Structure 1
Amino acid sequence: MRVVSPCPQSKASDVARTYRYAPRMADLESKRAQVARIRRTGVRALADYALDDLRLTFIAHGENTTFWQTGRMQANNPRPVHFRRLGGVLARLHEHASTWTPPSGFVRMQWEWETFFGNTMEYGGISAADCWDLLPTPVRLQFDEIARRMLVVMTDGPDGLIHADLHLENALFDGDALRIIDFDDCGFGSWLYDLAVPLWDNRYRDNYPVLRAALLDGYAAHRELPDLTHLDAFIATRDVAFGLWCAGMSQVNPSFAANLDMTMDYIHRSLTKLL
């Protein structure tokens, strides 16, 4: 659950992320290890999200865990400048990851083919295999085609540590600072998947080509872009992850169930354009 509270000292807001269950200690220690390394790089844009830094308080009471950050989300009305800055932060994250050797005991998700298309994940407590069975036939056929293509694309394994969920609701803009939140999905995967996530979330906008160019320009200003040949395939892979999540959640959450047909129709139309 995420709570947004207006901050009286600025035009920004305080954002809290509350977890129903406390994270595993190995996960928390792994996040701290990553942040400690980023601090030593001297990159100010990244130091602001440190788990024990200023503006961020970790509170654990029984099974409740809350993280606070300050900033404003720009998901509803993003401009090219937001994507350019986000691209720059992604480049710095990837540069950090490419030169960092994780310490012993470092535990994070492996965003490999089996994670996206196999039976590794659970969505709403429903196994991924059962979620595939819940898909409408046209969407299932599209997902099968994406899985076939990505089996070839992902043969080389992960590039390094990625955020894996950096859409604009996980980026807080506060003056010159850009703070990144929600590292729950952080793991080892493709640089392209990190770039695909914010593009997937905004691919329906009329100015999508401009936003896409801004994201890539922002990245290229700090780091050489990866080969973009399969970028659209990773955007399609995000559709798979989202569709399976919605299918699983529809079995346990009435609001997801009520919107499932509309969601699947939207995914089908989106993938028809991409494939």
Structure 2
Amino acid sequence: MPELVSKRAQVARMRRTAMRALADYPVDEPRLSFIAHGENTTFRVDSRDTRFLMRVHRPNRHGRGVDSRVAVGSELAWLAALQADTDLSVPTPIRARSGQWTTVADGRVCSVLGWQNGRMQAANPRSVHFRRLGGILARLHNHASVWAPPSGFVRMRWDWETFFGNTMEYGGVSAAGCWDLLPSPVRAQFDEVARRMRTVMAGLGSKPDAFGLIHADLHLENALFDGDAVRLIDFDDCGFGYWLYDIAVPLWEYRGRADYTAIRTALLNGYSERRELPDLIHLDDFIATRDVAFGLWFAGMAQVNPAFAADLDEVMDSIQRSLDRVL
């Protein structure tokens, strides 16, 4: 692996880009505080009278040949529709002075969202958090089932080709290149998941009872709890996919815990109170698919981000142990 530019230097460059982009938004006297440097680089923006989230998006984030401005604008169009049509608490998309959802600075697509308050409960969750998250997930699916996306709406399609083929790029590395970076035992496990899921996904097809617009990343670090409110964040992965994958995502990290059965029951009960559950026969297969998606993404990001590179071996070992439970 070539020597990586330090995280500090990468973040400093993205901070300059963010400040240039903010000139295109109605934000007075912005002050930036770094949040994260991963798929996107994110900053909290404190202005004279309110707070925002600034995102500097990675090129080719949504697949090769996809216009990032269109893809990010489509994400924000769904957020705007959720705000207009429901009482779900989702980030408020902020238009640039041009009237567009995004702007471009230093060749990077940038977007601004309203700030969401609340606390993450990922470190020490209780069943009540999963029950409430299940209910919120069902309500998202209810909206997606009836909402008609506007003309020109473009988001990822989370199907077999996206999960297991060469559609995506992770950290600027093609998906096929990420497969080549995997340790041999993990590569063999991923091959087996891909084989199984080709049959599973072919059987499910894209019928409305199985497939629709999903968040695709609604784990407990993307849900903020504030009293009785649950505020959702990070729709960056949203796209067309399997309802069952959306249910698998929040369960994935907790499958090895002693209280996993209670967690699973709470999430499913919360969902079923708001929407009929899809057939759960392949839930564990979709949890395994999440292992694959996370592993390929992490392997690619480790080629460009030193923080990911430092943790790569540990993450691959964890994924191998996770898949050992189901393969």
- Fold match by TM threshold 0.5: yes
CA distance in 2, matches of 1:148, 1:59: 39
Structure 1 unmatched runs, 5+: 6-13
Matched, 1:35 2:35: no
Partner of 1:140: 187
The one of 255, 258, 261 equivalent to 1:209 is 261
Residue 60 of structure 1: CA displacement?
A: 6.3
Cα deviation 1:69-91 (Å, max 9, x = unaligned): 11111111111111001000110
CA distance in 1, matches of 2:81, 2:174: 35
Would the aligned equivalents of 2:79 and 2:90 in 1 still touch at CA under 8 Å? no
Change (3 A) 1:51 1:255: closer
The one of 170, 173, 192 equivalent to 1:123 is 170
Matched, 1:267 2:319: yes
Q: Percent identity?
A: 62
Partner of 2:291: 239
* TM-score, reference length from structure 2: 0.73
Partner of 2:143: 96
CA distance in 1, matches of 2:174, 2:134: 33
**Count, aligned residues:** 262
Matched, 1:107 2:159: no
Cα deviation 1:114-152 (Å, max 9, x = unaligned): 000001111111111111111111111110010011001
Change (3 A) 1:185 1:175: same
Change (3 A) 1:79 1:16: farther
The one of 39, 51, 58 equivalent to 2:93 is 51
Q: What code does the residue aligned with 1:95 have?
A: N
Change (3 A) 1:86 1:126: same
Partner of 1:10: none
Matched, 1:182 2:234: yes
Partner of 2:70: 26
The range that moved more, 178-187 or 97-106, is 97-106
Cα deviation 1:209-243 (Å, max 9, x = unaligned): 11111000000000110000000000000000111
Change (3 A) 1:59 1:130: closer
Partner of 2:222: 170
Change (3 A) 1:101 1:117: same
Partner of 1:9: none
Matched, 1:230 2:277: no
Residue 51 of structure 1: CA displacement?
A: 2.4
Q: CA RMSD in A?
A: 2.6
Change (3 A) 1:52 1:88: farther
| Secondary structure at 2:225 match in 1 | strand
Matched, 1:78 2:78: no
Greater C-alpha radius of gyration: 2
Q: What code does the residue aligned with 1:140 have?
A: R
Change (3 A) 1:175 1:268: same
CA distance in 2, matches of 1:136, 1:94: 36
Cα deviation 1:149-199 (Å, max 9, x = unaligned): 100111113610000000111101111211111111000000011011110
Residue 39 of structure 1: CA displacement?
A: 3.7
| Secondary structure at 2:116 match in 1 | strand
